[in-house]
Amino acid sequence: MPELPEVETVRRGLAPVMEGARIERAEVNRPDLRWPFPERMAERLTGRRVLQLRRRSKYILADLDSGETLLIHLGMSGRMVVSGDRLGRFVHDHPAPEKHDHVVFTMEDGARITFNDPRRFGAMDLLDTAGAEHHRLLSVLGPEPLGNGFDGPHLVAAFRGRNTPVKAALLDQGIVAGLGNIYVCEALFRAGVSPRRKAGRISAERVAAMVPLIRDVLTEAIAAGGSSLRDFRQADGELGYFQHSFDVYGREGQPCRREGCDGEIRRIVQSGRSSFYCPACQR
C-alpha cells in the first residue's frame, strides 16, 4: 500500500493540473470500490473548481468551491494518472480506456486524471470541508510526521507505558499519521533500535531522537518520488526510486550497510507484516 511519501508524490504531481482548475466532467464507472461511492458523486463533482489539493496521512483531499472535499485513498493498487495537459507538464497523450479506470476527471483545459485500481481497495468520499477533520477516517489520526505537532515530547508521551513493540507503536496511526511498514523499518535502522523492543522500555532520549530520523527518511523518500515495489506510479506514470536507497527493507540475508557493522539483515514477521533489521546494530 502506498505510504506517506508515495501519496505526497502523487499529490504534488496532481496539484499543477487540478488546483485552481474546474472539473469539466466527472465520470464514475462503477458503484463502489472499497465501499460505495457517495450518492450522485459524478454530478456533485462536475463543474466544480478545485481550490486546494492537500494531504492528510495517506489520504489526498481536494477542496472544492461547492464547500465539499473529495477524499481519495489509493488503496493497494490505485493510481492517479494525468494525461493531455496542454501546459506541457504531462506530455502523454490520453491512453485508451482500461478495464479498471473507475473514475475519470476531465479538466477544463483538456487534461485528464484517471483513477485506475485493479484490486479495488481504493476509496473516494465526499465530505463537508468545514468539518473534514471530524470524518470517521480523519478524526482518529495523530499528528503529521512532517508537521509541528510531531515532536520529541509527543512521541515520548505516546510511548510511555506501552508494552507493544516499537514497530507496532510507530504504525499506530493515532500516534503518528501516515507511517507505513517500509519507512518505519528504515527509520528504526537509522535510530539503531530493534523493531522487537517494547516502546515503553526505550529511554526518552532515544525516543525523542527518532523524530528527526523519521522526518529525514520521509523527506528523502519524497524527494526520490517514493518507492515503487509493485503497483506504485507517480502521476506522470513514472516510477519512484527510493527503493534503491533502502538500508534494510527487502534486504534479508544481505550485509548491513552501517559502517563498522558485520551484521546481516534479518526478516521477522510482526502482526502479519515483515520487519527487516540488523540484529547486530539495532538493539
Q: pLDDT for 14-43, tens place per residue?
A: 999 999 999 999 999 999 999 999 999 999
Where do the domains of the chain lie? 4-134, 152-277
- Residues tagged active-site: 2-3, 58, 273
* Average pLDDT of the residues of the chain: 90
**145 within 8 A of 179, measured Cβ to Cβ:** yes
Return the DSSP state at 261.
Answer: -
pLDDT, residue 3, reads: 87
Is residue 231 within 8 Å of 238, Cβ to Cβ? no
Tell me the CA end-to-end span of the chain in Å, nearest whole number: 28
Q: Provide the residue type at 63 as one letter.
A: D
Query: What is d(CA 278, CA 192) in angstroms, rounded to the nearest whole number?
Result: 9
Give me 237's grid cell: 506514470
Lowest-pLDDT range, 11-20, 89-98, 256-265?
Answer: 89-98
| Cell numbers found for residue 162 | 506501552
The reply to whether domains 4-134 and 152-277 share a CATH topology is no
Contact assessment for residue 270 and residue 257, using Cβ atoms and an 8 Å cutoff: no
Work out the average pLDDT over 140-169: 98
CATH for 4-134 is: 3.20.190.10
State the pLDDT confidence band at 100, using cuts at 50, 70 and 90.
very high
Q: Could you tell me how far CA 217 lies from the centroid of its own chain? A: 13
Q: Is the pLDDT of residue 93 over 80?
A: no
User: Please, are residues 176 and 166 in contact by the beta-carbon 8 Å criterion?
Assistant: no
pLDDT digits over 207-222, tens only? 999 999 999 999 998 9
- Whether 237 has a pLDDT exceeding 60, the answer reads no
Q: How confident is the model at residue 245, as a pLDDT?
A: 76
154-160: average pLDDT: 98
Report the amino acid identity of residue 275.
Answer: S
* Contact indicator for 29, 205 with CB cutoff of 8 Å: no
According to CATH, the topology of domain 152-277 is Helicase, Ruva Protein; domain 3 (1.10.8)
Per-residue confidence (pLDDT) for residue 97, from 0 to 100: 72
Q: What is the pLDDT of residue 84?
A: 79
CB 129 within 8 A of CB 146: no
What CA–CA distance (Å, rounded) separates 145 from 95? Answer: 36
**170-216 pLDDT per residue, tens:** 999 999 999 999 999 999 999 999 999 999 999 999 999 999 999 99
